[in-house]
Amino acid sequence: MTAIQTEVFDDADQLATDVANRFVEICQKSISRDGRCVIALAGGSTPKRLYQLLASDRFCDQVDWSRLHLFLSDERCVPLDHPDSNYRMAREALLDHVAAPDEQVYAVPTHLDASEAARSYEFSIRSLLAPANDEIPAFDLVLLGIGGDGHTASLFPGTKALEVAHRLVVENWVPQQESMRITFTIPLLQAARQTILMATGDDKAEAVHRAVVGPLNVQETPSQILRDSRGTVTFALDRSAGARLSA
């Protein structure tokens, strides 16, 4: 079982700055080792702050964007220009401002049927990260968030995707949101070399506590899957989100 590392920061700006530094370091080490860095981006308001910072003059030139391959750990089944699209948020906050080649930015093909879109996205991942011996591919870095209900990516409590063991990406109907999502599965998330989960706000404090130290029940708190990750897992929290841990 993985020991989840927790880092608590004074505020969201300090959190984003620290994660931006980690992002740069992971990119540089991966490129030095493999000639590339493969990253899964997250949606949500906290990652958006990080992406804007990475696109700023302070950080942009520290990353060789031409060596990055960028995916999304989950997506809503909406057009890519829809206001709810995680891809649109990432593009507007980050990708439009850096020199990441278009062919190395992998959007979920949401114009397809959800099942077809999930299989197509899985094919893209396997094509790039074809491991030996049919092992689960390992992203260099996966960025995640957490919901107040304990979900991460689009693995929501009680949903069918939590039972999937032999796929990398699946469609997932989320009754709580009355929407279909495309999401990385548990095996793919657990295979990452580095995972950074970001959370801000007191509405996340209880979920963070359950994820890190609560009684194990993945059906109720899906983010607990990160306890069984193969790589390093860090929860980067502001003081409000980390309040239950410090208490």
pLDDT in tens, 159-206: 999 999 999 999 999 999 999 999 999 999 999 999 999 999 999 999
CB 142 within 8 A of CB 187: no
pLDDT in tens, 14-59: 999 999 999 999 999 999 999 999 999 999 888 999 999 999 999 9
Asked if the model's pLDDT at residue 77 lies above 80, the reply is yes
CB 11 within 8 A of CB 201: no
In residues, how long is the chain? 247
Domains and CATH numbers, the chain: 5-246 (3.40.50.1360)
Burial of 35 (0-12, 13-18, 19+ CB in 10 A): exposed
State CA 69 to chain mean position distance: 14
From residue 229, how far is each of 24, 40, 193 by CA, in Å?
22, 15, 9
Among 29-43, 86-100, 125-139, the minimum mean pLDDT is found in 125-139
Confidence band for 132, pLDDT divided at 50, 70 and 90: low
CB-based contacts of 33, cutoff 8 Å, min separation 6? none
HSE of 198 in the Cβ direction (CA atoms, 13 Å)?
26
Across the beta sheet with 141-144, the strand order is 5-9, 232-238, 194-199, 141-144, 37-41, 68-72
CB 68 within 8 A of CB 140: no
Look at residues 64, 68, 208, 77 and name the one whose alpha carbon lies nearest to residue 149: 208
